[in-house]
Amino acid sequence: MRVLVAMSGGVDSSVAAALVLDAGHEAVGATMKLWGGPSDTGCCSVSDVEDARRVAQQLGINHQVFNFSEDFESRVVGPYVAEHAAGRTPNPCIECNRHLKFDRFLERAVRLGFDAVATGHHARVERRGEGWCLRRGADEAKDQSYVLHMLGQPQLARVLLPVGGLTKSEVRLQAAHLGLRTAAKPDSQDVCFIPRRGGRKEFLAARTELHPGRIVDEEGRQIGELDAVELVTVGQRRGLSGAIGDRYVTAVDVEQGLVRVGPLAAARVERLVVQAPAWVDGEPGREEPLEVQMSAHGRPVAGRWLGGGEVALGEPVRPVAPGQSVVLYRGDCVVGGGLAAS
């Protein structure tokens, strides 16, 4: 089988390429050039491309670079800015997976005659009957199935996730055993297009207007002020001035310049509305018991799919920021997910 391996320059994708070769497949490495601006975080720097190229050389495989920067700007960066401007909380890594890694990259691979693509994500793809199941990764602390919840059967039939059955320490040991230059390279933790210097505030201020706002309590009384309403997210507690105390952000109204806060007991929710859901293998049955996860490494809670975009939770949880992904699981298999509504 001919496999195009998405090589980001990190240790996971490096070992993924090695495992594709070990499985007897023909492999070619490819790095996506996504972000054209300054970057000192994530996987978009010039040094990351060089690391990917050098690892491919070590493994004896060809390496290519695909320039998807225009798509990245229109599909990831632009919507990221627009969501903040609307008072929502985007997840750019999920949108990058949705539109770039498992759409444009996969489409390019098929057009070039490859049978499948491989990535270094910590999740597992397994055959189940006539279809495919997207399972959690073996390393619970590194599981990335949450950010892959949008993958359907056509994509899963052409996707290999070689490191999904390994722990992170096993991946590093494998890389060290092979002498790969990325064996000890730290994981990327931040949004790749947000520089550490200046951070999210400077990045957004250069692309959209930020507005000062007022912080009000559950009674509507002003208890603080803030420089930019667009930088606040529902569920936030730290980083706010004023007499916030133990309160959490319960609502963000950019148009009115208001951030509402309240005590956790009053802020907790037991039902969520999910917009634009995508299913791995069909919508779950109404009232079906499932597990619900509301952040990449958050604790899943018991829940039920009510249909019509509604999810009932088995216990009250902190408010979920509009725009964040809500992902449903059946055991350790992803059922699907969508975006939390406002």
pLDDT tens digits, 83-105: 999 999 999 999 999 999 999 99
For residue 41, what pLDDT is reported?
Answer: 53
CATH entry, 2-120+162-178, from 3.40.1080.10, 3.40.50.620, 3.40.50.300, 3.50.50.60: 3.40.50.620
Number of Cβ within 10 Å of residue 111's Cβ equals 8
Backbone phi, psi, residue 115, to 5° = -85, -25
Q: 43, 44, 133, 192: which is the annotated catalytic residue?
A: 192
CA 101 to chain centre: 12
Cα 17 to Cα 14, 23, 102, 124, 248: the distances in Å are 5, 10, 17, 16, 44
Model pTM?
A: 0.93
Q: What is the DSSP string of 179-240?
A: T-TTTTPPPP-S-TTS-TTTHHHHHHHTTS----EEEE-TTS-EEEEES-GGG--TT--TT-
Q: What residues pair up with 152 in beta bridges, in sequence order?
A: none
Q: In what order do the strands lie in the sheet with 26-33?
A: 63-67, 26-33, 2-6, 116-118, 159-160
Known catalytic residue at 44: no
Question: What does the alpha-carbon distance between residue 194 and residue 42 come to, in Å, rounded to a whole number?
Answer: 9
CA atoms within 13 A on the CB side of 212: 5
pLDDT at position 315 is 95
Instruction: Report how far residue 319's alpha carbon sits from residue 304's, in angstroms, rounded to the nearest whole number.
Output: 18
Query: What letter does residue 319 receive in the DSSP assignment?
Result: P
- Phi and psi of 111, rounded to 5°? -65, -30
How is residue 131 written in tokens? Answer: 């279809």
Residue 237: predicted pLDDT: 82
Distance CA 222, CA 264 (A): 18
Q: What is the pLDDT of residues 12-71, one digit of tens each?
A: 999 999 999 999 999 999 999 998 765 555 555 678 899 999 999 999 999 999 999 999
CATH 2.30.30 fits 209-266, yes or no: yes
The domain locations on the chain are 2-120+162-178, 209-266, 269-340
- Tens of each residue's pLDDT in the chain, 342 residues: 999 999 999 999 999 999 999 999 999 999 999 987 655 555 556 788 999 999 999 999 999 999 999 999 999 999 999 999 999 999 999 999 999 999 999 999 999 999 999 999 999 999 988 899 999 999 999 999 999 999 999 999 999 999 999 999 999 999 999 999 999 998 876 788 888 888 899 999 999 999 999 999 888 999 989 999 999 999 888 778 766 778 889 999 999 999 999 988 877 899 999 999 999 999 999 999 999 999 998 999 999 999 999 999 999 998 899 999 999 999 999 999 999 997
Fold of 269-340: Elongation Factor Tu (Ef-tu); domain 3 (2.40.30)
Structure confidence at residue 253 (pLDDT): 95
Spatial distance between the Cα atoms of 304 and 193, rounded to a whole number of angstroms: 36
The single residue of 44, 96, 133, 333 carrying the catalytic annotation is 96
Q: How many CA atoms lie within 13 A of 240 on its CB side?
A: 30
